[in-house]
Amino acid sequence: MTDTDTVIATPSDSDEPARLPIPDTGHARLSDRTLVRVSGPGTRAFLQGQFSQHLDEVTPNHAPRAAAANPKGRAYALTRLARDGEDVLMVLPKALLEATQAQLDKYLRLFRGTTMTPLANAQVWGLVGMDAAAQIAGATPAALGMPADAQPLDSGLLIRVEDDDRGIVRFEFWQTGDTAPDLTGTPELSVADWQARDIAAGVPQLDTHSWEAYVPQMLNWHHLGGVHFKKGCYTGQEVIARMHFLGQLKKSLYRFSCPGGVRTGSRVLAGNQAVGEVVTAVTYTDGSSELLAVVRHDAAGQPLTVEGQPLMPRPLPYPVPEREGPANTDT
């Protein structure tokens, strides 16, 4: 793909800009995402064989991130797994739902009586600040102190996610029934507002450009708790494990700001050489943007541009120690 290629609309190319100043409280209905239920006698074996997370880690009070990859280790789903009784829930981008289901169905058909069903009346909510979470939980959710901590409620599941770069706490509420939560009194935020906070937290989202393009570690997914390196075999595991244990990671996810708008899938350039690609991006009301891009480690310290605009490095809220190793090139 070139910088001038037409870009298909994706969840990362929202028409609505994120607001400035950045809100520090509020709620967003994440209409770009679908809640999916896996149920039946083969639930554990199916998910254990396809996702990078160990199912022993998925409990009513712990909902860790996970990835599904093709046999070459390239991720086609970045999600989170959560218990709901004997079932397991996950959230997938609506734009990739059909393609992701088609991939997983290749393996699901081996497990008679086990189903994977999008929940038509369910909703996913993003909550910024403790007030919105307390309004849903009925009290301050003191037990949700770390990302992936979960609290089952009658109407769904409240999950702590990564704080933003200002240390503002964030949650997701997975509404499993028909009744929306009462969030009266908390400001309404847009999908773009939530996505901006995900970018600030270093959390990527796949779209049509990045689908099956990267091993999970290139997306820093292991630094978000999304890869369990001690579990047994799953599709793509050999490539993912080899990259980890042999120290072969040569590019990873970086955060940048940019003076103008940026499209996902655009090439990151060092001079005239392509050294990375934009994975997730959001535009603010002042016309500037923030983005997450996979960039080669040996090029990250050089002046970089995207779509003719300079990129300004921004810090991630977690360390990426692999970048401290010897510089290498990657293809």
Rounded to the nearest 10°, the torsion over CA 265, 81, 63, 123 is 80
Query: How far from 102 is each of 108, 116, 233, 315, CA to CA, in Å?
Result: 10, 11, 21, 36
**Bridge partners, 305 (sequence order):** 269, 310
Number of alpha helices (DSSP H) and beta strands (DSSP E) in the chain? 5, 18
Average pLDDT over residues 133-159: 95
ω into residue 21 within 30 of 0, thus cis? yes
Instruction: Write the secondary structure of 83-133 as one string of H (helix), E (strand) and C (coil).
Output: EECCEEEEEEEHHHHHHHHHHHHHHHCCCCCCEEEECCCCEEEEEECHHHH
Backbone angles phi, psi at 28, to 5 degrees: -130, 130
- b/e 285-316 (16+ beta carbons within 10 angstroms → b): eeebbbbbbbbbbbbbeeebbbbebebeebeb
pLDDT tens for each residue of 310-328: 999 999 999 999 997 544 4
pLDDT-derived band of residue 161, with 50, 70 and 90 as boundaries?
very high
pLDDT tens for each residue of 230-257: 998 999 999 999 999 998 899 999 999 9
Distance CA 174, CA 106 (A): 27
Among candidates 288, 282, 114, 99, which has minimal Cα distance to 203?
Answer: 282
What is the distance between the terminal CA atoms of the chain, rounded to a whole angstrom? Answer: 15
The β-bridge relationship of strands 273-283 and 170-175 is: unpaired
Instruction: Give the single-character DSSP code of 323.
Output: G
SS3 33: strand
3-state helix, strand, coil in the chain (%, to 5): 20, 30, 50
Determine what percent of the chain is predicted with pLDDT higher than 90.
88
Among candidates 289, 322, 326, which has minimal Cα distance to 13?
Answer: 289
The whole-chain average pLDDT of the chain stands at 93
- Please name each of the domains of the chain with its CATH number: 1-22+250-331 (2.40.30.110), 26-188 (3.30.1360.120)
Q: Please give the pLDDT value at position 248.
A: 83
Distance CA 310, CA 268 (A): 10
Q: Please give the pLDDT value at position 324.
A: 77
Q: Please give the pLDDT value at position 3.
A: 34
Average pLDDT over residues 268-286: 98
Task: Please say whether the beta carbons of 1 and 264 come within 8 A.
Answer: no
Average pLDDT over residues 216-222: 98
Q: Please give the pLDDT value at position 10.
A: 41
Q: Which residues contact 101 (CB under 8 A, 6 or more apart)?
A: 116, 118
**pTM across the whole model:** 0.93
Look-up of token digits 């289901």: 101
Distance CA 298, CA 315 (A): 18
